[in-house]
Structure 1
Amino acid sequence: MEKKNNKTLNIALWVAQVLLAAMFLMAGIMKATQPIEELSQSMTWVNDFSAGMVRFIGISELLGGIGLLLPALLRIKPIFTPLAALGLFIIMVLAFIYHISNAEYQALGINLILGAIAVFIAWGRYKKAPIQPKA
């Protein structure tokens, strides 16, 4: 029974990793490459930050998305997968705080959901179903 539970958890973690990576890869590419003027039309928070900070957030999200998948897929330094998840969780905590401070309560749901998925991945890949490195 334990083996089946572990397999189910492993599948759930892979699904979560792929979905969260896709979200952050798309968001990161957008923030890292689109002109700031275009971004500010769909993301009003962009106006509160310098262009450099918006690019930094985008690159951080991009690297976090890559970190959710590549180390685990390649089994090279797979400890980076839960660390990437923790990094993305921190980004979501900071986004949550920002949105609360600006009374943008409609944005909190997505921060909570993405943050919870990131914590699930970090917990699962660190404690319950870690990926073993190549021998």
Structure 2
Amino acid sequence: MNLTLWIAAGLLALVALGGGISKTFVRKEKLEKRVASGWVKDVSPGFVRALGVLELLAAVGLILPAVVDIAPVLVPVTAVCMVLLMAGAVITHVRYHDGTKVVVVVSIYLVLAAFIGWGRFGPEAFTG
């Protein structure tokens, strides 16, 4: 179970890192042209950048606290925050009619984050 949670956290961290980098460093005009990014035109560049920074922090928070064994409780806390972020993403993609495929993929990320939160708060917590 511990290995499964590490793999899930690693995969979700990679997803968050990719999304965070693009939202933080790619210009808003370029992001608007991507598939399933219709919502970008309705928000400010600062909001997009803030989401990107949150995703970058999530990528770090899912892995680093456990690896360095400093405040490892931040891993499940980060996972719960990712659940909230992904719930907002699901709602946004449904609202903008971005398609079933996008909604399903984001929902999988949500379930993955919930699994990590459940597993690290519960049966495979980092407490000794």
Relative to the length of structure 1, the TM-score reads 0.88
| Partner in structure 2 of residue 39 of structure 1 | 31
Query: Match for 1:109: what amino acid?
Result: V
Provide Cα deviations, 1:18-60, integer angstroms capped at 9, x if missing partner: 1100110111011001111111111222112110110011011
Aligned residues: 125
Divergent runs of 4+, >6 A: none
Contact 1:24 1:62 in 2 (8 A): yes
Identity of aligned pairs, percent? 35
CA distance in 2, matches of 1:101, 1:19: 26
| Partner in structure 1 of residue 98 of structure 2 | 104
- Indicate the SS of the match to 2:33: helix
Q: Which has the higher helix share?
A: 1
Decide which structure has the larger Cα Rg and report it. 1
Contact 1:75 1:132 in 2 (8 A): no
CA distance in 1, matches of 2:40, 2:91: 15
Gaps of 5+ in 2: none
Gaps of 5+ in 1: 1-8
Structural RMSD (CA): 1.2
| Partner in structure 2 of residue 28 of structure 1 | 20
| Partner in structure 1 of residue 123 of structure 2 | 128
Q: Of 46, 57, 62, which residue of structure 1 is paired with 2:56?
A: 62
Contact 2:13 2:60 in 1 (8 A): yes
Contact 1:86 1:122 in 2 (8 A): yes
